[in-house]
Structure 1
């Protein structure tokens, strides 16, 4: 009995070309092989099938009755394999109904989701997006398993086995309500230390650089409130005298409804990179490539 583990698909390709062309020289040229390589493949086919398969004649290599019987099902099988592999290598956003899962913070949602959903409405009406928090899952494992397609943000923990693409760089600023006592041209370090603060403890992200830098420089903060995310800042700051340290792009886009102001930060924080991450297993996966390009395009235009 023939064992499928012994079947080399390349041999079946040679078989089908020989059946169609009937000449070893022509098959060798079409497949980019030498004539001895084609003859060797035929010898292996004969042994595997226990049949001569092709016999020399004045008209070329004539198929045996068994070869004639095999030709159509082998052609059909190879066509199905090719079509299946080609489907996996295609992604058509105009017809796709795929659901993508993207890990991002509330900052990412505020910055990207409004324009991403508008873009999908234009070019990919059947595609849907689901977001998860970077801290709600084991992000590295979820990306590797494909349960999360992409991760977006300041994520220094994603290193080996991951690709990344820079979306933009940004800095931290000081944020407060319009009419605040600090609503003037600039803010000194003394002003910063004297103010009352709301602190965002964004676990699982690189935003811990804020607390680390402040501690390393021995800067004092009168912290009155700590929250786990940025999304509540607008509501809180607009009705209190608290100030907050936040990324500038988030402040420019997310705080407009709350009539908030911001100034350059008196503490010299380094600029930080906001990157797009994906696992190496999906580097060439067409759907992932498409969404990565869309997100990068949105970052470049804003």
Structure 2
């Protein structure tokens, strides 16, 4: 049996929840701006007060006991509710300086940054776009540790602690130099396979972008270069006979600058879907509501 709540220091529970959420004393100490010995000491005090073991050693890390899982499931939602209620009481004024950090893909950064720069209704607020981590686990961890306010990334997330909403739909096209010695105006399937290609990898999965969205199995292509950056791929295509895929939204801007042809792919593809992802603890925050609404308004304006 647990001790009565009036015998337990409730501040210890907040530290416990952070360790449970991150499954790491070290990461919890960083998130709480504390030290590893201090967090370990708090867990020992809480375990002693409860008369229960909360974490056990597992390899080089820790693992929660069944008691810890039960406790976290019982009190976790309550603490989130308290944080939301307190945050909701705080006013948000765009005339007070504040910088929001947003993880994005390269296409979203190139699409959204000019819209933010020219928006006259930002007040004293700034939005700082950063390329999203390669792995989804890293992205979610940074959102959980509040190192970023939200993310706009390929695909959705199925996790009870996060909210997702569809943000933007795009289509991949193929680009090549206006001076390409064979391809002019359109491209056939045989020309696609005979040409040399830049291979662009999806940052999250490491899968070739065009392979990820193609509705048909693709044959082996002649890969002349591997790129993580679409802009680098477009630059290579502009000065050679290499082909490079790109989102349609990017090609509309950069094809004229790089003197590229923007052509429809000779086979069917799935659309590129971007989703906005945020931690549920920020759901009712007035500042975060403003940020989400602002980004949706900007992308909607771009689509008109």
TM range (shorter): 0.5 to 0.7
Q: Could you tell me which runs of 5 or more consecutive residues in structure 1 were left unpaired when the two chains were aligned.
A: 7-83
Contact 2:157 2:277 in 1 (8 A): no
How high is the TM-score relative to the length of structure 1? Answer: 0.65
**1:1-60 deviation per Cα after TM superposition (whole angstroms, max 9, x unaligned):** xxxx69xxxxxxxxxxxxxxxxxxxxxxxxxxxxxxxxxxxxxxxxxxxxxxxxxxxxxx
Q: CA RMSD in A?
A: 2.7
Residue of structure 2 equivalent to 1:176? 176
Q: Residue 96 of structure 1: SS of its match in structure 2?
A: coil
Instruction: Tell me the CA shift for residue 162 of structure 1.
Output: 1.9
Matching of residues 1-302 of structure 1 within 5 Å: 85=86, 88-93=89-94, 95-119=95-119, 122-135=120-133, 138-157=138-157, 159-204=159-204, 208=208, 210-212=210-212, 217-302=217-302
* Cα distance in 2, alignment partners of residues 286 and 245 from structure 1: 39
Instruction: Tell me the CA shift for residue 236 of structure 1.
Output: 1.5
Evaluate the alpha carbon distance shift between residue 242 and residue 86 of structure 1 in structure 2; reply closer, same or farther with a 3 A threshold. Answer: closer
* Cα distance in 1, alignment partners of residues 247 and 240 from structure 2: 20
Instruction: Tell me the CA shift for residue 158 of structure 1.
Output: 5.6
Residue of structure 2 equivalent to 1:31? none
* Cα distance in 2, alignment partners of residues 148 and 182 from structure 1: 46
Number of residue equivalences: 219
Q: Residue 99 of structure 1: SS of its match in structure 2?
A: strand
Contact 1:154 1:205 in 2 (8 A): no
* Cα distance in 2, alignment partners of residues 266 and 282 from structure 1: 43
Instruction: Tell me the CA shift for residue 104 of structure 1.
Output: 1.0
Contact 1:155 1:206 in 2 (8 A): no
Q: Could you tell me which runs of 5 or more consecutive residues in structure 2 were left unpaired when the two chains were aligned.
A: 1-5, 8-84
How high is the TM-score relative to the length of structure 2? Answer: 0.64
Contact 1:169 1:274 in 2 (8 A): yes
Instruction: Tell me the CA shift for residue 155 of structure 1.
Output: 3.5
* Cα distance in 2, alignment partners of residues 152 and 88 from structure 1: 27
